[in-house]
Homo-oligomer: A and B are copies of this chain.
Amino acid sequence: MSNPLQIGLLVFPHVTQLDLTGPAQVFSSLPDVAVHLIWKRIEAVPSDSVIALTPTTTMADCPQLDVICVPGGFGTDELMLDEEVLEFLRKQEKGAKYVTSVCTGSLVLGAAGLLKGYEAATHWTAVDALPFFGASVSRQRVCVDRNRITGGGITAGIDFALTLVSMLINRQAAEMIQLRMEYNPAPPFNAGSPETAPAEVLAAMKERVAPAQARRLEFVRRAVGTSI
């Protein structure tokens, strides 16, 4: 690995900001690290919410990374068909120690052909999309398969990043960051997965996300259709 450690997170329009800001908080706590926010341009990019994210470098200027991470969000639909992004990921993969994602970011890795034959995690509403890319679905919160490390939905990014720090450095480095971040979670309710959410909450959420799921599968099919 280079020194300092080079970690890059992809930024793109309509990224789910916590997919990125959670891991960014963890990685930035490392003592010897350069964290890059990467997009086509360095102007601020709108996220899914009130937070605008300002890239620190472009794909063209980005150094070879030790870790490349693709966060998720509705914007991953377009990314699955964006050859400039897919080519950047394929190029980085060749020299990266770890190729990673949070939430639906794994679908972009899949569209780049980087999850063929791998097990991977994604947001619970997107598990039906992964097999199109030759990946098998993990329902673990953080899935480690060789050097592909993929996290589940949104908040799983924090668990993912701490796991990755323990692999990059060691367990104590991850524990130091966990203590600093007071990551001793106590969700006030038990609705954080389709397995534990109250039936009416799950039914309402399924209805709400159905149009986005249909749109996503349409993009997945087009991505698969255009790939070699």
Contact = CB atoms under 8 A, between A and B. Distances in A.
A5 interface: no
Contact of A179 (B103, B171, B185, B197): B197
Contacts of A154: 25, 180-183
Interface in A63-117: 103
A191 to B, nearest CB: 4
A172 interface: yes
Max chain B Cβ within 10 angstroms of own Cβ: one of A49, A188, A205 = A188
A194 B152 CA distance: 27
A191 B179 contact: yes
A198 interface: yes
> Copy number of this protein in the oligomer?
2
Nearest to A192: B184
Contacts of A6: none
Nearest to A9: B50
Contacts of A21: 17-18, 21-22, 51
Interface stretch (A128-136, A155-163, A218-226): A155-163
Interface of A: 16-18, 21-22, 24-25, 28-29, 35-37, 44, 48-54, 56, 103, 123-124, 141-142, 152-156, 158-159, 162-163, 166, 171-172, 174-176, 178-189, 191-194, 196-198, 200-202, 204-205, 208-209
15 contacts: A50-B56, A52-B54, A124-B182, A142-B186, A153-B180, A153-B181, A155-B183, A158-B185, A159-B185, A175-B191, A179-B191, A179-B193, A182-B192, A183-B192, A184-B187
